């Protein structure tokens, strides 16, 4: 029976092809939309994660209480081995040390004395290790206005606005005057490797990016870090982060040291919790609305599929086939079409979503002021839900459409059939 | 004209099918409009909040004021011109004096900006009326975020420290008489608001201010010491952010429209397949093929008109209700400092609406045209016979 | 009415002994309080201020994660010129600071750079201590800045002290009023409380190890504490001090920073 139906579907393209295309296309759009919405909904979360919060963050307990002030003197000591341990314990995650600092950038004259100076906020990131993801997280390549990324520890990136204001160019040397871990004065010479633009006026005024190794040396912080940021392989996932943070913090449950390591989740920082909940809610709502609409279309398609075969059923009835048999075969066909369409649709949808997730769409050209504080590449995000979010409505709606349109079969009067079939 | 009449008649004839297609398309359209309205409403609200809480219709800045450099505050104050006094009394100008200060949280110094504001002012939403205290104590108000971070409650006394114009240290316990909630983080973060008169005395900057917020965008320009910053200047950053946020909606728009269009496409293909005899008849009766193509295309695109009518019937009241009740939001601020209101009220811009309608009609016409092109290739005799190719 | 107005003369007639005792007492008080308040402060200035001085000092900053120890050598002339070289810890060794008037230059040997600090930056904490650059450099005579009153006599740390109340007579002082416990015999402040204009206690200082160097008594150790700041304050101790030495003028020049 099934083989017969498949044969029919294959041979009679009008019976199969269009409904199949519609189902498949509809399912594909659903999958892509779901992944895309999930992706862009979390994009501002990812932005926060990349720059400030990480998906999770390890710090000392004491630091966590005054986190908004980022006090260097409450840093984790022995950070390097902790990073190694974290990477080993939680496969697929990435852990990086970060030091945020403030200071004065001092531009010298020929005599090595202050020519100009201005305050900066600074980030030190791992810029030089091979395969580092920090450059991408800060989107530094796209943000370069001139010059290049630092290739050595004594090179730094200054914001373009700052560089222009203080008349300092690529290759010029400047001094960073800041505080060490203990509060002593810190002086370090850097060379300008390039200038960047963040797109936020407050930061563009004066910001400096240097390699983490340079910062460790300048601030006397070798093997220590105020914050260790953790990143999942893909986008933020509440459940995974909860598991990791609970597991990690349980290791120190019986430790009363105020400088014990302590992990917080992204949602514990800067009101991020409510943003996470909100974006999940709005994402679910959008997808629900869309799946609803899609179901109507597919149901509609199923209906049309039944309607278009009006005359065929007439002939079959005229030839003496049972109404119920025709109805059954119609539904079987619908199941087949729904299955094949949903499978192909899901596969192709996943394919497109995967491309959108990995490559993304470069939207920096759409923006007049490209900035690293804006995601430059919009990305999709494939989740488990993508596997069924299109598949189920694809199958159910197609079959449902057939079930309803097929009812018409029972209304046909045999006496009228030949009249209808007159050519 | 005949084509139009025919098309409408054909469509109204096929009641259920037409209705289903129009329903799907209208649904997609309503969702689309809602989505755009949500985005616009959100953006608009951020801007309106900023105007209501912070920038008014523009600001006059003391010459050396630089909002990004807290150290500039030391010099950023100028005498308020006496010619502005009447405007200030009438409430059209609100002077604000900013002085750098500090508080201590568990022994750690936190830099703040002590902000003096006229208690009587109504120009900004900052609830300054509660500062009208007659007592010797200096009353103060703070934003809820600042209160939360520093663990300050209503009724608490907080010691603030500052240095007067000569650099002499001064300190005072102020009473927190109100904690206000705002979406505009700049008036909340690290700000303590007290009556401007008190701050002028405390700092020795009598009759001086840092910012004059005005309700008149065409205010008389003072000769020196003050610089006028118009709304465009003050909102530049938020405008950029809004523009960038909008781009994400393009893909969603395309996907949403495509479900509706998929329905039309499907119908068109079916129509042409089912109505070959009809097509043959049209041609036999003297219509050119192109005319028939036009007729079928028209039928397809009229779906979008029906969808619009349908969308108006149920969508308009629905969207209107949402627009008036608003959608509740968690209060938070994202990395860029763009605030999210407690409720978002979708805002439907007429321009966006017209563009959306045009796009929908155009897209419906396009997807109707492509299947119809096949008619051009049909052999009228075969078509008349109903022979399937 | 008459009686009240001439109470003392009345008393003098009726109870001469009591009256005389009273007069003597009042006169005595006047001597202790009124006449010598400025003198006391001048004597304090004589002990603390000098035309020039050369000293080695240590600073112990007690923080949340243990304390830090900093050693330096300072040459100072008047209150407008000073030159400090850091000797310890190794990370700070060779760092030099030159203060002329309101300007401060810092030289760092590791970068071979001299940077200038001015304006608001002078108000920042010096090396994480309870002292700002400004306060560190401040050495104006108290008599130039404050008018003074004696409040009472009191014993603290086992020494008799005058309790002085100082109120600013010039505008540009950091602390508008001070309360100062001055040793009655040695004229060295043993304790100081620094108040804001509105009368809030902001900081206190305690002096220990009062030693005689030449003609003057000098507190060799001072503990500074910002009352609101966490930690146990900053201990500043002078290990060696010489007054009125010859200091080559060239030391107070930017060129000497790089030497």
User: Which tens digit of pLDDT belongs to each residue from A279-323?
Assistant: 777 777 777 777 777 777 777 777 766 766 777 777 888 888 888
Q: Which of C135, C166, C198, C204 to mutate to test binding with chain B, by most B CBs within 10 Å of its CB? A: C198
User: Tens digit of pLDDT for each residue in C72-85?
Assistant: 999 988 778 889 99
At A258, give phi and psi (nearest 5°): -70, -10
Pairing of strands A207-211, A114-125: parallel
Question: Are the CB atoms for B194 and B115 separated by under 8 Å?
Answer: yes
Cα B207 from Cα B81, distance rounded (Å): 9
Which of B248, B335, B340 lies nearest to residue A40, judging by beta carbons? Answer: B248
Chain B residues inside the 8 Å CB shell of A121:
none
Q: Is the Cβ pair C202, B109 closer than 8 Å?
A: no
E-strand spans in A247-395? 261-265, 361-362, 377-378
Neighbours of chain B (3+ CB pairs under 8 A): A, C
Residue found under tokens 């605030």: B339
pLDDT single digits (tens) B97-151? 999 999 988 778 888 999 999 998 889 999 988 888 777 788 999 998 888 888 8
From C227, which residue of chain B is nearest by alpha-carbon distance?
B107
Query: Does B8 reach chain A within 8 Å, measured CB to CB?
Result: no
Beta bridge partners of B86: none
d(CA B352, CA B372): 30
Residue B117 and residue B193 in contact, taking contact as beta carbons nearer than 8 Å: yes
ipTM of the complex: 0.78
C244: DSSP letter: S
Backbone angles phi, psi at A82, to 5 degrees: -65, -40
As a whole number of angstroms, the distance between CA B357 and CA B8 comes to: 19
Mean of the pLDDT values across residues C105-111? 90
Helices B15-50 and B236-246: crossing angle, nearest 10°? Answer: 160
Which neighbouring-strand residues pair with A149?
none
Q: What gap in Å lies between CA A83 and CA A61, rounded to an integer?
A: 17
Residues 78-107 of B with CB under 8 A from C: 104, 106-107
Q: Which residue of A107, A112, A182, A217 to mutate against C (max C Cβ within 10 Å)?
A: A182
Say yes or no to pLDDT of C89 above 80. yes
Report the C-alpha gap between B365 and B129 in whole angstroms.
59
pLDDT for residue C72? 92
Contacts of C120 in chain B (CB under 8 A): 71, 74
> Do C202 and B161 make contact, defined as CB atoms within 8 angstroms?
yes
Read off the tokens for C52.
């020039």
Q: Which of C63, C92, C106 sits opposite A73 (nearest CB)?
A: C63
Which residue from B268, B267, B278, B270 is spatially nearest to B386, judged by alpha carbons? B278
- Alpha-carbon distance A303 to A399, whole Å? 9
Q: How far is A187 from chain C (nearest CA, A)?
A: 7
For residue B204, give the chain C residue with the closest CA.
C171
Assess contact for A198 and A159: CB atoms under 8 A. Answer: yes
As a whole number of angstroms, the distance between CA A193 and CA A173 comes to 10
Q: Which of C91, C113, C114 sits opposite A184 (nearest CB)?
A: C91
Residue of A68, A363, A368 with shortest CB distance to B149: A68
Chains within contact range of chain A (3+ C-beta pairs < 8 Å): B, C
Measured in degrees and rounded to the nearest 5, phi and psi for residue C131 equal -115, 145
Q: Among A272, A304, A363, select the one facing B270 at the smallest CB separation.
A: A304
Q: What is the rounded CA–CA span in Å between residue A389 and residue A206?
A: 47
Contacts of B263 (CB under 8 A, 6+ apart): A297, A300, A301, B20, B21, B24, B25
Contact A311, A33 (CB under 8 A): no
Looking at residues A329-352, what average pLDDT do you find? 89
- Model pLDDT, residue A337: 85
How far is A388 from chain C, CA to nearest CA, in Å? Answer: 55
Residue C32 has pLDDT above 70, yes or no: no
Chain A residue nearest residue B27, CA to CA: A293
Enumerate the residues of chain B whose CB falls inside 8 A of the CB of residue C145: none
With cut-offs at 50, 70 and 90, classify the pLDDT of residue A14: low
CB contact under 8 A, C175 and B168: yes
Q: What is the pLDDT of residue A254?
A: 86
pTM, rounded to two decimals = 0.77
Of C168, C197, C230, the CB nearest to B107: C230
Note whether B269 contacts A: Cβ–Cβ < 8 A: yes
Q: Where do runs of H (alpha helix) occur along A90-137?
A: 134-137
Share of chain B above pLDDT 70, in %: 90
For residue B190, what are its two tokens? 């690290």
pLDDT in tens, B318-348: 888 888 887 766 554 443 344 455 677 888 8
- CB-based contact A29 B255, cutoff 8 Å: yes
Angle between helix B249-274 and B350-376 (nearest 10): 30
Selected for mutation to probe chain A from B16, B24, B374 (highest A CB count within 10 Å) is: B24
A231-285 pLDDT, tens digit per residue, is 998 778 888 999 999 999 999 888 888 899 999 998 888 767 777 777 777 777 7
Contact B31 A289 (CB under 8 A): yes
What percent of chain A shows pLDDT beyond 90? 32
* Residue B210 binned pLDDT confidence (cut-offs 50, 70, 90): very high
Contact across the interface for B167 and C120, Cβ inside 8 Å: no
Question: Which of A173, A28, A184 has its CA nearest to residue A107?
Answer: A173
Mean pLDDT score across all residues of chain A: 83
Rounded to 10°, the helix B276-284/B289-310 angle is 130
The two three-digit tokens of residue C113, written as one number: 């750079």
Contact C197 B169 (CB under 8 A): yes
pLDDT digits (tens, 9 = 90+) for C169-192: 988 888 899 999 999 999 999 999
Dist CA A82 CA A124 (whole Å): 18
Determine the residue among B272, B335, B342, B389 to mutate to test chain A binding: the one whose Cβ has the most chain A Cβ atoms within 10 Å. Answer: B335
Q: Searching chain C, which residue's CA lies closest to the CA of residue B102?
A: C228
Helix (H, G, I), strand (E, B) or coil at B190: coil
* Out of A341-350, A378-387, B206-215, C4-13, least confident range: C4-13
The verdict on a CB contact (< 8 Å) between B106 and A297 is: no
- B354-377 pLDDT, tens per residue? 888 888 888 888 888 888 887 777
Query: Nearest residue of A to residue B265 by CA position?
Result: A22
pLDDT for A55-90, tens place per residue? 999 999 989 888 888 888 889 999 999 999 999 999
Q: E strands within chain B?
A: 59-62, 78-79, 93-105, 108-117, 138-143, 157-163, 169-180, 191-195, 208-209, 211-214, 226-229, 327-328, 332-333, 339-340, 343-344
Task: Report the pLDDT value the prediction gives residue A369, as an integer from 0 to 100.
Answer: 46
Shortest Cα–Cα distance, B198 to chain C (Å): 13
A38-55 residue pLDDT tens: 777 777 678 788 888 899
CB contact under 8 A, A183 and C91: no
Across the B/C interface, how many CB contacts are shorter than 8 Å?
58
Percent of chain C with pLDDT over 70: 85
Q: Do B266 and A40 touch (CB under 8 A)?
A: no
Model confidence band, residue A93 (pLDDT cutoffs 50, 70, 90): very high
Place of tokens 């308040």: C37
Nearest chain A alpha carbon to B272 = A308
Put simply, the answer to whether A71 touches B108 (Cβ < 8 Å) is: yes
3-state secondary structure A4-24: HHHHHHHHCHHHHHHHHHHHH
- The C-alpha angle with vertex A40 and arms to A36 and A45, in degrees rounded to 5, equals 140
pLDDT of residue A370: 43
Compute the nearest-CA separation of A282 from chain B (Å).
10
Distance CA C42, CA A337 (A): 104
Q: Which residues of A touch B106 (CB under 8 A)?
A: 66
Which among B108, B247, B335 has the least Cβ separation from residue A367?
A: B247
Distance CA A338, CA A391 (A): 9
DSSP state for residue B55 in the 8-state scheme? I
Q: How many CB atoms are closer than 10 A to CB B313?
A: 11
Residues of A in contact with C125 (CB under 8 A): 183
Place of tokens 């907080």: B158
CA–centroid distance for B113 within its chain: 29
Min Cα distance B364 → chain A (Å) is: 15
Contact A40, A357 (CB under 8 A): no
């Amino acid at each position: 029976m099934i083989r017969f139906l498949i044969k029919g579907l294959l041979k009679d393209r009008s019976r199969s092809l269009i409904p199949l295309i519609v189902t498949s296309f509809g399912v594909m759009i659903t999958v892509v939309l779901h992944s895309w919405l999930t992706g862009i909904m979390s994009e501002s979360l990812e932005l926060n994660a990349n720059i400030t919060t990480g998906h999770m963050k390890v710090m000392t307990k004491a630091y966590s209480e005054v986190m908004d002030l980022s006090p260097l003197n409450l840093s984790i000591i022995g950070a390097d081995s902790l990073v190694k341990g974290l990477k080993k314990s939680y496969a697929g995650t990435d852990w990086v040390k970060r030091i945020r600092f403030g200071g004065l950038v001092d531009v010298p004259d020929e005599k090595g004395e202050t020519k100009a100076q201005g305050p900066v906020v600074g980030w030190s990131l791992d810029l030089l290790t091979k395969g580092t993801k920090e450059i991408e997280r800060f989107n530094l390549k796209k943000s370069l206005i001139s010059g290049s990324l630092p290739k050595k520890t004594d090179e730094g990136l200054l914001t373009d606005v700052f560089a222009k204001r203080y008349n300092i160019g690529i290759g010029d040397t400047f001094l960073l005057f800041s505080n060490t871990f203990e509060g002593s004065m810190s002086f370090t010479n850097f060379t300008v490797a390039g200038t960047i633009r963040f797109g936020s006026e407050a930061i563009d005024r004066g910001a400096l990016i240097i390699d983490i190794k340079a910062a460790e040396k300048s601030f006397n912080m070798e093997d220590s870090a105020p914050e260790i940021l953790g990143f999942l392989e893909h986008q933020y996932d509440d459940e995974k982060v909860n598991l990791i943070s609970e597991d990690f913090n349980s290791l120190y449950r019986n430790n009363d040291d105020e400088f014990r390591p302590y992990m917080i989740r992204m949602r514990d920082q800067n009101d991020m919790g409510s943003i996470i909940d909100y974006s999940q809610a709005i994402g679910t709502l959008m997808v629900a609305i869309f799946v609803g609409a899609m179901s109507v279309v597919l149901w509609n398609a199923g209906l049309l599929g039944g309607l278009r075969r009006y005359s065929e059923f007439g002939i079959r009835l005229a030839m003496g086939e049972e109404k119920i048999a025709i109805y059954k075969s119609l539904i079987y066909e619908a199941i087949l079409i729904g299955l094949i369409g949903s499978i192909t649709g899901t596969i192709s949808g996943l394919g497109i979503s995967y491309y959108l997730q990995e490559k993304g769409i470069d939207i920096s050209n759409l923006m007049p002021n490209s900035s690293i504080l804006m995601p430059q590449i919009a990305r999709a995000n494939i989740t488990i839900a993508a596997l069924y979010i299109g598949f189920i409505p694809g199958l159910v709606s197609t079959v449902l459409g057939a079930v309803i349109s097929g009812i018409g079969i029972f209304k046909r009067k045999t006496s009228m059939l030949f009249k209808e079939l007159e050519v | 004209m005949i084509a139009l009449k025919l098309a409408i008649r054909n469509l109204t004839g096929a009641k259920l099918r037409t209705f289903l297609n129009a329903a799907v398309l209208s649904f997609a359209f309503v969702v689309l409009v809602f989505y755009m309205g949500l985005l616009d409403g959100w953006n608009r609200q951020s801007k309106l909040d900023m105007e209501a809480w912070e920038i008014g219709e523009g600001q006059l800045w003391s010459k050396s004021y630089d909002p990004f450099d807290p150290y500039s505050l030391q010099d950023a104050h100028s005498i308020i011109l006496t010619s502005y006094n009447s405007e200030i009394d009438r409430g059209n100008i609100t002077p604000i004096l900013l002085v750098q200060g500090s508080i201590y949280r568990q022994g750690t110094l936190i830099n703040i900006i002590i902000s003096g504001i006229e208690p009587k002012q109504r120009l900004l939403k900052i609830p300054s009326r509660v500062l009208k205290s007659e007592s010797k104590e200096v009353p103060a108000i703070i934003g809820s975020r600042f209160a939360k971070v520093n663990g300050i409650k209503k009724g608490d006394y907080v010691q603030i420290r500052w240095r007067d114009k000569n650099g002499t240290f001064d300190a005072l316990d102020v009473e927190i008489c109100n904690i206000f909630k705002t979406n505009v983080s700049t008036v909340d973060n690290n700000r303590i608001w007290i009556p401007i008169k008190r701050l002028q005395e405390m700092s020795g900057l009598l009759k001086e201010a840092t910012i004059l917020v005005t309700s008149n965008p065409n205010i008389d320009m003072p000769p020196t010491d003050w610089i006028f910053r118009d709304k465009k200047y003050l909102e530049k950053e938020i405008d950029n952010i809004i523009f960038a946020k909008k781009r994400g909606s393009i893909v969603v728009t395309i996907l949403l429209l495509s479900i509706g269009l998929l329905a039309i496409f499907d119908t068109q293909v079916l129509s042409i397949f089912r109505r070959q005899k009809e097509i043959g008849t049209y041609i036999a009766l003297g219509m050119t093929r192109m005319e028939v193509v036009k007729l079928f295309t028209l039928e397809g695109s009229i779906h979008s008109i029906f969808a619009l009518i349908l969308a108006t019937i149920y969508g308009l009241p629905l969207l209107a209700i949402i627009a008036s009740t608003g959608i509740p939001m968690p209060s938070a601020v994202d990395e860029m400092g763009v605030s999210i209101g407690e409720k978002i009220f979708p805002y439907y811009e007429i321009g966006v609406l017209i563009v959306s309608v045009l796009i929908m009609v155009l897209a419906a016409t396009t997807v109707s045209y492509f299947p119809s092109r096949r008619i051009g290739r049909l052999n009228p005799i075969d078509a008349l016979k109903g022979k399937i190719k | 009415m008459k009686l009240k107005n001439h109470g003392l003369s009345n008393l003098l007639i009726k109870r001469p002994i009591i009256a005389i005792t009273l007069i003597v007492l009042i006169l005595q008080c006047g001597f202790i309080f009124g006449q010598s308040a400025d003198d006391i402060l001048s004597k304090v200035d004589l002990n603390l201020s000098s035309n020039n001085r050369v000293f080695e000092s240590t600073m112990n900053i007690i923080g949340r994660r243990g304390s830090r120890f900093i050693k330096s050598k300072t040459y100072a002339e008047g209150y407008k010129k000073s030159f400090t070289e850091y000797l310890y810890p190794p990370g700070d060794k060779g760092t030099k600071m030159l203060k002329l008037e309101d300007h401060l230059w810092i030289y760092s040997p590791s970068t071979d750079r001299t940077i200038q600090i001015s304006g608001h930056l002078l108000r920042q904490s010096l090396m994480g201590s309870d002292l700002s650059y400004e306060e560190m450099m401040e050495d104006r005579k108290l008599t130039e800045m404050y008018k003074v009153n004696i409040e009472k006599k009191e014993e603290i740390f086992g020494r008799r002290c005058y309790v002085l109340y100082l109120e600013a007579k010039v505008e540009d002082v950091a602390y508008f009023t001070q309360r100062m416990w001055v040793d009655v015999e040695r004229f060295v402040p043993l304790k100081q409380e620094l108040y804001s204009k509105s009368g809030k206690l902001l900081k206190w200082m305690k002096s220990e190890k009062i030693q005689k160097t030449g003609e003057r008594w000098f507190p060799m150790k001072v503990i500074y504490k910002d009352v609101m700041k966490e930690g146990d304050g900053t201990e500043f101790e002078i290990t060696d001090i010489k007054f009125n030495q010859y200091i080559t003028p060239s030391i107070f020049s930017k060129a000497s920073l790089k030497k």
